[in-house]
Structure 1
Amino acid sequence: MKLVTTSEMREVDRTAIERYGIPGPVLMENAGRGAAEAILTTKPELTYGQKVAIFSGPGNNGGDGFVIARWLAERGVLVAVYLLTSPEKLKGDALTNYKIITHLNIPVIAVSSDQEWARYQDKAASENVLFIDAIFGTGLKGEVRGVMATVINWLNGLKKPVWSVDIPSGLDADTGQPLGTAVRADFTITFGLPKIGQIVSPGPEFTGSLKIIDIGIPAKAVEENKIRRELLGQDICPGWILPRPPDSHKGTYGHVLVIAGSPGKTGAAILTCLGALRSGAGLVTSGLPKSLNPIFETKVTEAMSEPLPETIDGTLSTAAYDRIMELIENKEVLAIGPGLSLHPETQSLIRRLVVEADIPMVIDADAVRAIKGYLHILKESINIRILTPHPGEMGRLVGKKTWEIQKNRLSIAEALSKEYGVYTVLKGASTLIAAPNGETAVNSTGGPALASAGMGDVLTGMIAGFLAQGYNPFRAACLGVFCHGLAGDRLSGQKKTSGILATEVAQAVPGILATLRTPRDSTHGQSDNHHL
Structure 2
Amino acid sequence: MKYILTAEQMKAADGRTIHEIGIPSLVLMERAALQCMAAMKEEQIDLSYALVVCGSGNNGGDGFAVARLLAEEGKRVDVCFAGKLESRSEETKQQMHILENLGVSVGNTLPEKEYSVIIDAVFGIGLCRNIEGHYQNVIEQMNRYQGYKVAIDTPSGISADTGEVLGCAFRADLTVTFAYAKAGQVFFPGSEYAGKVLVKDIGITDPGFENRDDLYFMLEKQDVISRMPERKPDSNKGSYGRVLLIAGSRGMSGAAYLSAHAAYMVGAGLVRIYTEESNRQILQQLLPEAIITTYDEMALDCFRELPDLLQWADVVCIGCGLGISEYSRRLFKMTLEMNRKPCVIDADGLNLLAEFTEEERRKWARQKEQYVLTPHMKEMSRLTGYPVAELKNHRNALLREFVEKMQVVCAMKDSRTLVAACGHPTFLNSSGNAAMAKAGSGDVLAGTIAGLMAQNLPTFDAAVLGVYLHGLAGDTAREECGSYSVLAEDLIRGLGRTLKTLEENLK
Q: TM-score, normalised by structure 1?
A: 0.89
1:496-507 aligned within 5 A = 496-507=482-493
Mapping 1:61-210, distance limit 5 Å: 61-110=59-108, 117=109, 120-121=110-111, 123=112, 126-210=113-197
- Deviations for 1:309-331, whole angstroms, at most 9, x for unmatched residues? 325xxxxx994544222102121
Q: Residue 307 and residue 496 in structure 1: after superposition, are their counterparts in 2 closer, same or farther (change >3 A)?
A: same
User: Equivalent residue of 2:218, what SS?
Assistant: strand
What's the counterpart of residue 387 of structure 1? 373
Please tell me whether residue 262 in structure 1 is matched to residue 263 in structure 2: no
CA contact (8 A) 1:238 1:518 kept: no
1:84 aligned partner, one-letter code: A
Name the structure 1 match of 2:435.
449
Q: 1:320 to 1:231 in 2, by over 3 A?
A: farther
Query: Could you tell me how far 1:86 is from its partner in structure 2?
Result: 3.1
1:241 to 225, 228, 234: 228
Change (3 A) 1:77 1:199: same
C-alpha deviation, 1:399, in angstroms = 1.7
CA distance in 2, matches of 1:263, 1:8: 51
Q: Is this contact kept in 2: 1:318–1:346, CA < 8 A? A: no
Match of 2:452 among 455, 461, 466: 466
Alpha-carbon shift at residue 166 of structure 1 (Å): 0.9
Amino acid at match of 1:239: S
Aligned CA distance change for structure 1 residues 174 and 219 (closer, same or farther; 3 Å): closer
- CA drift of 1:152 comes to 1.7
Query: Which residue in the other structure is 1:275 paired with?
Result: 262
Matches within 5 A, 1:510-521: 510-517=496-503
Q: Which amino acid aligns with 2:123?
A: F
Report how far residue 44 of structure 1 moved: 4.8
The structure-2 alpha-carbon separation of the partners of 1:318 and 1:326, relative to structure 1 and needing over 3 Å to count, comes to farther
Q: Percent identity?
A: 34
Seen in structure 2, the aligned counterparts of structure 1 residues 238 and 135 have a Cα distance that, compared at 3 Å, is farther
C-alpha distance in 2 between matches for 1:223 and 1:104: 44
Correspondent of 2:411 among 425, 429, 445: 425
Distance in 1 separating the partners of 2:259 and 2:325: 20
User: How far 1:251 sits from its partner (Å)?
Assistant: 0.9
Select 1:368's aligned residue among 350, 362, 372: 350
Q: Does structure 1 conserve the Cα–Cα contact (< 8 Å) formed by 2:179 and 2:205? A: no
> Structure 2 counterpart of 1:42, which letter?
E
Provide closer, same or farther for how the CA distance between residues 223 and 436 of structure 1 changes in structure 2, counting only shifts above 3 A. closer
User: Matched residues in 2 for 1:101 and 1:319: separation?
Assistant: 84
* Pick aligned residue for 2:494 from 505, 508, 522: 508
> What CA distance in whole angstroms lies between the structure 1 residues aligned with 2:454 and 2:354?
27
Range with bigger deviation, 272-281 or 425-434: 425-434
Q: Deviations over 1:462-497 (max 9, x none)?
A: 000000011111110111111111111122223612
Question: Match of 2:41?
Answer: 40
- 1:245 Cα deviation from its structure 2 partner: 1.4
Aligned residue-pair number:
502
2:53–2:82 contact (8 Å) kept in structure 1: yes
Q: CA deviation at 1:420?
A: 0.9
Partner Cα distance (1:495, 1:99) in 2? 55
Q: Deviations over 1:220-272 (max 9, x none)?
A: 36557776421122253343123211112111110111011123321000000
Q: Residue 385 of structure 1: CA displacement?
A: 0.9
- Inter-partner Cα distance in structure 1 for 2:300 and 2:117: 65
Report the counterpart of residue 328 of structure 1 in structure 2.
Answer: 310
Per mean C-alpha deviation after superposition, the further-off stretch among 415-424 and 79-88 is 79-88
Instruction: Point out the more displaced range, 33-42 or 394-403.
Output: 394-403
Match of 2:325 in 1: 343
Please, what TM-score do these two structures have when normalized by structure 2? Answer: 0.94
Q: 3-state DSSP class of the match of 1:493?
A: helix
Contact 1:318 1:348 in 2 (8 A): no
Shift in CA distance, 222/418, structure 1 to aligned 2, threshold 3 Å: closer
Distance 1:238 1:102 in 2: 53
Instruction: Give 1:87 deviation, angstroms.
Output: 2.9
Q: 1:33 to 1:53 in 2, by over 3 A?
A: same
Please tell me the root mean square deviation across aligned C-alpha atoms, in Å.
2.2
Alpha-carbon distance between aligned partners in 2 of 1:491 and 1:519, rounded to the nearest angstrom: 19
Change (3 A) 1:270 1:64: same
Contact 1:360 1:385 in 2 (8 A): yes
Q: Unaligned 5+ residue runs, structure 1?
A: 111-116, 312-316, 523-532
Give the secondary-structure state (helix, strand or coil) at the position aligned to 1:236.
helix
Aligned twin of 2:12: 11
Q: Is the 8 A contact 1:467 1:476 kept in 2?
A: yes
